[in-house]
Structure 1
């Protein structure tokens, strides 16, 4: 014990001279806890279980020390220590110690993972590879065929986690050939004659509706005849005794009634009426046939069917199918003249465009839906034309369809359909009327990609032989692929040899050159970002910085303007560098930077982890999931491009949102139409404006059925307050143990904190989550919640009050948001750390403390303008160093 005290005293005395050096040190106050409850068994003398805590240093400097302290944390969290027959700490003592040690372990993990500022040579990640191929060849490869990144870090730009294998090289070779082959198909399709394929909705939809009505009418009449025969049989006096023995409950349900009758001799059999069912199943299907008949009859008798048709939505979906005879690859325009039915819910006034056939995914839906979603803006009497573009590629299914926007799972849609049947006798009311649909294309466009420009360039060079043409194309393409001034002569000779060999076999120039072209985009010089390192840190060249900057802000190779500036050695001029940053952020490709950084920084993959209850949240389908994610991206993109209104703290609280028509309908906002995102001013009392009011953030803080104060509170601590809670310990009591208790959600969470190992984390997390309870599982505002009902709150009024652990209280969501806004410096710190890791391609660690502080100081002077964060990083010596 004396040894521990002596070592600790020396450590504390030395802190004054080492304050600038980050360390993972368990505070001295925790020694009393260990002395009172641990060292009597685990000192140097006894060492029960071969554990000696007396020599365990409070300053964690090695992996071994960290593992020992982690064992202490786990044992106390699990309740294994102190043993039941030993002196026990009270709940407050235990919670304080667990909190302190947990926080120290978080710091230890950072210290021990510090890379020392080294940047590992990095290959292109999945996103960068896809964009690089598109830039070079003009072909967009599907995500599902690209090699995974397999990273274990927070960001896919960290080079140390981007592993390479022989299998990946084989995949890259196949992908390179696929891209090159499609490039030539694009060239061949450039001469395709454009066409217009058009259908009149009434010619397609109404005959099918009439046919379905006829079939359902015939089927229903057959069931009616069977039902009549069964009822007549049941009414015969000789069967009265059997019927009298049936309970009232059995008589109340047609299926059970028929099931009983089927045991009586002489009962009608469904096969006599053309059915294969048993009598009991026939009774079940009778109700379905009746509903089906009433449903189709209702739609058949709707007005305005002479010049259009209504899209039906039941647990099977009516769609208008579009199948042009021939569709060369290229870009096509889709136009739909449609109108919304008056009084229909706003969330149903959307169409989906996709493929009607193909495999079924795990949601019970065709994988081909949706390719596009479109908001219906007109009315039945005054339809409006909506237009969008789509791509047809070699492997694109040439069958398309239009249908009403629908819930994610059609299995769950059945429940809603039957609920509607109980109300009106037939099911869903119509929401969308379609006049006509047309497809036009392929639209004439110059072939994209640098390879096309190289091909077009040699057309003007007369008198070239095939060998000369091949050498020119392969030389120029290698230069572009390798992101350098020129390829090495020996490499060009090697791919020329392959070309000559293929030409001997293929006897065709364009077939022979495909293999060497695909090898170029499979070679290490393309797959790896070529920043040659030395034993000591060195400054990057202008060209290397141009490549780093382009992959940072565009996730793709530099364009010609950036290359020209780099080749003139002008990028090292800070004014020129800042001009390029501003230009690049204005380009559409900057969306890749925002999406790549934000998706990982804010842990947005959680948005795809689970399905939302269709019964309770019908509108949260794939379309809204995509739109809600895009709202986050578009808001950050808006801030990055805005000099006057681009402060980072607008992500905490702002007087505007960036939404499209679908998000506006979800939020109950009117007058906002169309698929394009735009900035919309908010009223003073709006809960929107900032991340906490966004559907995506609140949906991630739920389980698809109800909101989770724990998930939401932990998310705020991690990403808005830069104070991440430690990982949940193993073997702690689960909240599910209180599921059967008649308690509100808040009461259950408070009861959960009675366990010290739970309280150490939850007392920081849960109160913040309470403040977000006015948002339901999909981010819609509410004042009541059935999960808030308790003995003292019978109406389920949402109580969003709480208090930060050892901090200020708040009365509602608006005060919570204000208190978080007060901590905007912490938010800026967290964003800075994420930006450094993403931009430099290495895990953020204490080595980067000086850089972080420089960025924060520079941006704070500009009121944390988001563009200034980027400028401060790219102008730093770390960004210019290897």
Structure 2
């Protein structure tokens, strides 16, 4: 019987999972029977003792019966108890003490019964032999000891059982001392402190602390008023057992920083403040100690993005598999990978199976190779005469004549096109060519090919009859196909193209410029000076008197228009260096700053003229000179005349200066088309940008699917450029869509010249497109790489049971991201064996098992076993029954090799590989990480592997894109509707480049291992040509993002001057200081302001003179209201400093005709003016705070959980390690991945 109980203790599954059936039913009788053996087993020793001292001499015959009944009852009770524990969802560590007590009771009962039986038998033998039966001392000693131990074991088992059912203080809660101390479970220091706190703190809190809170805090944060949504009077003073410690921690931070109580409120004395701070600090430390041993991790489902990335890497197919899944919820810190929130709904489970089946259908080749559609559309003047193609028709269409293109059917596997020439003609009628939405002046059909000039971005305003509205950029050229194309699979688009010449037009002219900084500055004597004197072309002084002008008496070089009516005109002779070809010149004026806006006309040689409007100058005063850029000239020759003409609103000026500028400068690009010889534009890099989409009623729904390629070589040097894509990822039309003509709802495959220009008057570079070719599905090999990756090479017979097992095992290892045990694999192999006969094709049967693997929690979740469970899985370990038996008695091997804290153990190497990979790559670990994990060497090679991983740009970008978007709320910029009338050049291309700027900037910091302080200020930006031109930065060519060095005149360094943040935190028309301030405080400083109270009054535009107020003055008016004052006083100063940046993030010096006032006084009294000074303040005064905020967000993302005050010590250690390395980004990442939390369960 003892053996049976011990075997049951070793064999029953105490795994925390509930069971069912007969065992669970029988186990539930445990509580019904347990009183019977307890009574008997207590009675037996008492009867023995009574008979031994002749208190009950007649009790001896009953002792034997009681022992036997008690022992048998103990056997069944303990057995039922183990069945109950194993089937009611208990883990071994939960029932260990109670179970050990019960087993000891049963074993001691068996021993006592055996001893009594043996002694009785010995006495009977002596009597039969007429021998004297002496009183055996050894028997009395052993029998008494066993009986006493049995009584103690019964009480221990009963006490553990009561604690298990009613809590661990069931017996000791009301026990008098010292019995309570003796019986109470052992407590470590923190638990003892917590217990003492619960006893001591009530009196201290009520007598000392609460009166202070009532006096200084509850008035604004009590039952009647909750400013900022914060209520303190309902928080529990029990830091350990309540959930209010984080709220007390926030209150402590407010007191320590001096933000609370507000300065205008009554302040506590130093002694009172010390009482509050000491009580809060002590309580928070105790709460941290009490929680120190708890596991910080929860099992995490793969996020939507991680799921798609993992499937792509596992199957080798570039398809967005997660588009059917709902978006993941965001945590308080803004991240989508929070384990606590990543629940799996019924919708998720159903969709996971659907996606898995669909994904494997794409990865596993069909029995027959699919039909390939391969077409080429060739362009050229009169090249397609007589061909049966269709003419593209529809709203805003700009068709290519059917005479100017023809289609070659290079390979068409369907019977319709393969039979006869007539069948091929029938296919060709479903083809057309279109330039829909293109300006006729921006493309030209040549004898060979069609010339495409640089594209103008879409018109973002819906205007009937307006070219470019709801279309691709203009011009764009597309091949349109109706129905004769596949709906899925890889495809290849080939374009044969070359650089082309542009035509020449008028060779001189002038134009006004917008938002261009002057090319010159003034020296200390007020004379113009250039950084590069080589470009200095001509300077003409106005130091002579003419009618309508007089020289200033204080500065005889200053020509001032005389007051009064009439037109004032001054002619300035200009001499340039002799040049055979025209050049671009920037025209600047040195003038007196005026308090009122100025308007006048500037002309060149009496025929080329433009209007000038100069705003009022900030802090203008008489005689103080400044420089303004007036315009741009494109002229040749030597002698010219500059004429300034206007009323007395012409500013007093001393000089007009012409500076030679490059043809590709931002100034030159503002010259209208009709003025410029466009051969110079070939200095630009023409770029082929491919797109695929659906022709719609009013335009096209499209996406570009590959990076644009620079057209190389000389003019006329044609090359073929290849672009690979996936049809499922693109907005392609279904087959059989009806319409007004045969081209309705066609598939569009097109290109444009992505060397974009800003206006219709510019042409830029030119690309000649000879043909567009389309091949789909496209196979680089057959069988495909994805098929061969699943059905691996093997010496086993293809189609055999052994080969199927090998395939399933290899796939499971990769899908589960670790080595899969035979027991784990068995259900999938068994499932395959059951269903294999239902599928005539071997691959289809295997696919069903693979679908099951992809629906397993081991694939869908980041299962992170600790070392203990890893050891239990290895074949060299002792058998599981022996292991469980050893664990029952506290001799587990895993325990000996891991942390003494069972709730916080080191995770396995495989789990570390996954945790590292889903942090840095947002996807599964690669073969190298898994190999190191299998060898047990990953943990010691973390520095080397981290350096390798950040070097893989495409994979790293998966992490940076998600992290930057969620940390910095880049989604707000993508969702912001910017007013296109106010900002016509804020195109969708600028919009997408702004988001990429932030991502590429952070990725550059990581890959180049630069200091994280660059987030505040850097001497470089990461830009492409499109975004650089939008910001007014010259010299950046091409669409590729790259580092651009900045000088002092270009305030674009760091995150704070990036358009994604500035645009996302405006309102689409105006800047928004409050939104920008909240972002800065919460994301950069890690100091999130409380949410605004309900029904906050808006800025009141009906206030007299409201429209004339600056935004800073409007906010001050709003802040004067009682309901707004306190919070805004701590928020607004951080937003005012951004006022030099408008709603789309461009720099401005004035707003509503008045100079921008960006001077701000921060809550700590620091005075800063503008963005550069707030950057300096953050670097000098708040650098550690900024880096702590970055660390917190990286730490939260890495672990999939929000951080709390419990993490303070670990975050401080990470920050200190990074600070020692000057906050270099890879050092910070390494400190996180080597931290205890990252390496423990």
TM-score when scaled to structure 1? 0.70
1:802-813 correspondence to structure 2 within 5 Å: 802-813=1160-1171
Q: 1:596 Cα shift? A: 2.4
- Take 1:618 and 1:393, find their aligned partners in 2: how far apart are those partners? 33
CA contact (8 A) 1:375 1:674 kept: no
Deviation at 1:91, TM superposition (A): 11
Q: Tell me if structure 1 keeps the 8 A contact 2:381–2:445.
A: no
- 1:477 counterpart residue number: 811
Could you tell which deviates more after superposition, 195-204 or 648-657? 195-204
1:624 Cα shift?
2.6
- Corresponding position of 1:568: 935
Report how far residue 175 of structure 1 moved: 0.4
1:727 match: secondary structure = coil
Determine helix, strand or coil for the equivalent of 2:793.
Answer: helix
1:797 aligns with 1155
Q: CA deviation at 1:532?
A: 3.5
**Which stretch of the first structure deviates more once superposed, 433-442 or 816-825?**
433-442
Aligned match of 1:754 in 1120, 1144, 1150? Answer: 1120
Q: 1:358 to 1:728 in 2, by over 3 A?
A: farther
Aligned partner of residue 471 in structure 1, secondary structure: helix
CA distance in structure 1 between the aligned counterparts of 2:798 and 2:987, rounded to whole angstroms: 57
> Which residue, 437, 453, 458 being the options, matches 2:789?
453
Match of 1:467 among 784, 797, 801: 801
Deviation at 1:446, TM superposition (A): 9.5
Structure 2 vs 1, CA of residues 95 and 11 (structure 1 numbering), >3 Å: closer, same or farther? Answer: closer
> Is 2:986 aligned against 1:620?
yes
The Cα offsets for residues 249-303 of structure 1, whole Å up to 9 and x where unpaired, read as: xxxxxxxxxxxxxxxxxxxxxxxxxxxxxxxxxxxxxxxxxxxxxx999837987
Q: Are the structure 2 counterparts of residues 114 and 651 from structure 1 closer, same or farther at C-alpha, using a change threshold of 3 Å?
A: farther
Shift of 1:825: 0.9
Partner of 2:1229: 870
> Which residue is 1:514 aligned to?
847
Q: Secondary structure at the match of 1:692?
A: coil
Match of residue 710 from structure 1: 1074
- Name 2:25's counterpart in structure 1: none
Equivalent-residue separation in structure 2 for 1:303 and 1:162 (angstroms)? 55
The secondary structure found in structure 2 opposite 1:833 is helix
2:780 is the counterpart of 1:444: yes
Report Cα offsets for 1:380-399 as digits up to 9, x if no partner: 98899795633134575382
2:1194 corresponds in structure 1 to: 835
User: 1:841 deviation in Å?
Assistant: 1.9
- Structure 2 contact 437–699 (Cα < 8 Å) conserved: no
Long gaps (5+) in structure 1: 1-5, 15-24, 44-51, 71-88, 217-294, 407-415, 421-426, 790-794
Structure with the larger helix share: 1
1:401-420 residue pairs with structure 2 within 5 A?
401-402=749-750
After the TM superposition, which residues 15-414 of structure 1 pair with which residues of structure 2 at under 5 Å, given as runs? 28=212, 31-32=215-216, 62=242, 92-93=264-265, 118-139=296-317, 140-153=319-332, 154-185=334-365, 197-200=376-379, 299=440, 308-309=450-451, 313-315=467-469, 317=471, 319-323=476-480, 326=485, 329-335=489-495, 337=498, 353-357=690-694, 366-371=700-705, 374=708, 389-393=723-727, 397=732, 399-402=747-750
Indicate if the aligned counterparts of 1:201 and 1:309 stay in contact, CA closer than 8 A.
no
**Aligned length, in residue pairs:** 718
Residues 105-124 of structure 1, C-alpha deviations (whole Å, 9 max, x = no match): x9999999999652111111
Contact 2:1158 2:1169 in 1 (8 A): yes
Encode CA deviations 1:498-544: one digit per residue, 9 max, x unaligned.
44555433311222322221121111121112224695211112222
From the superposition, tell whether residues 27 and 701 of structure 1 become closer, same or farther in structure 2 (CA, over 3 Å): farther
Aligned partner of residue 879 in structure 1, secondary structure: helix
The structure 2 residue matched to 1:726, chosen from 1090, 1097, 1111, is: 1090
Could you tell me how far apart the structure 2 residues matched to 1:148 and 1:298 are?
A: 40
Q: 1:69 to 1:38 in 2, by over 3 A?
A: same
Distance 1:617 1:95 in 2: 49
How do 1:531-550 residues align onto structure 2 when only pairs under 5 Å count?
531-532=864-865, 536-550=903-917
Equivalence map 1:696-707=2 (5 Å) = 696-707=1060-1071
Q: Which segment drifts farther, 668-677 or 305-314? A: 305-314
Q: Is the Cα–Cα contact under 8 Å of residues 796 and 802 in structure 2 kept in the other structure?
A: no
1:577 aligns with 2:910: no
**Secondary structure of residue in 1 paired with 2:959:** helix
Q: How does 1:517-666 map to 2 (within 5 A)?
A: 517-532=850-865, 536-573=903-940, 576-588=941-953, 589-643=955-1009, 646-666=1010-1030
Kept in 2, the 8 Å contact 1:341–1:380? The answer is no
Tell me by how many angstroms 1:666 deviates: 2.2
2:301 counterpart SS class: coil
Name the CA distance, whole Å, in 2 between partners of 1:729 and 1:302. 57
When residues 693 and 508 of structure 1 are mapped into structure 2, their CA distance, relative to the original with a 3 A threshold, is: same
1:284-339 superposed Cα distances (whole Å, 9 cap, x missing partner)? xxxxxxxxxxx999837987756525578443646422247556832525545567
Q: Deviations over 1:401-425 (max 9, x none)?
A: 436699xxxxxxxxx9xxx9xxxxx
| Largest Rg, 1 or 2 | 2
In 2, Cα distance between the equivalents of 1:830 and 1:763?
A: 22
Helix, strand or coil: the match of 2:478? Answer: strand
Residues 143 and 775 (structure 1), Cα distance of their counterparts in 2 relative to 1, 3 Å cut: farther
Give the Å deviation of 1:604.
Answer: 1.9
Per-residue Cα deviation, 1:630-668 (whole angstroms, up to 9, x for no partner)? 22111111111224xx10001110111122232223222
Question: Quick check: 2:438–2:476 contact (8 Å CA) kept in 1?
Answer: no
- Listed one character per residue, the Cα deviations across residues 567-602 of structure 1 (whole Å, up to 9, x for unaligned) are 1111232xx221011111111311122222222221
Counterpart Cα distance in 1 of 2:246 and 2:935: 51
8 Å Cα contact 2:498/2:711 also seen in 1 = no
Q: RMSD between aligned alpha carbons?
A: 4.9
Are residues 117 and 606 of structure 1, via their aligned partners in 2, closer, same or farther at CA, if it must alter by over 3 Å? farther
Residues 1021 and 1043 of structure 2 are in contact (CA less than 8 Å); yes or no, is this contact kept in structure 1?
Answer: yes
Match of 1:855 in 2: 1214
Q: Is the 8 A contact 1:114 1:845 kept in 2?
A: no
CA distance in 1, matches of 2:720, 2:1132: 46
SS at match of 1:679: strand
User: Counterpart of 1:792?
Assistant: none
Shift of 1:463: 3.4
| Preserved contact between residue 543 and residue 566 of structure 1 (Cα < 8 Å) | yes
Moved more, 613-622 or 397-406: 397-406
Q: Is the 8 A contact 2:1025 2:1036 kept in 1?
A: yes
User: In the aligned structure 2, how far is the partner of 1:301 from the partner of 1:634?
Assistant: 33
- Alpha-carbon distance in structure 2 between the residues aligned to 1:166 and 1:528: 16
Query: SS in structure 2 opposite 1:851?
Result: helix
The alignment partner of 2:982 has SS state of coil
Deviation at 1:146, TM superposition (A): 2.7
CA distance 1:376–1:622, shift in 2 (3 Å): farther
**1:685 and 1:366, CA in 2 relative to 1: closer, same or farther beyond 3 A?**
same
| Structure 1 pair 871–784 and aligned structure 2 pair: CA distance change class (3 A) | same
Question: 1: CA distance between counterparts of 2:1235 and 2:1092?
Answer: 37
Identify if the C-alpha distance between structure 1 residues 542 and 198 changes in structure 2 by more than 3 Å, giving closer, same or farther: same
In structure 2, distance between residues paired with 1:549 and 1:440: 40
Q: Specify whether residues 506 and 876 from structure 1 end up closer, same or farther in structure 2 by C-alpha distance, changes over 3 A only.
A: same
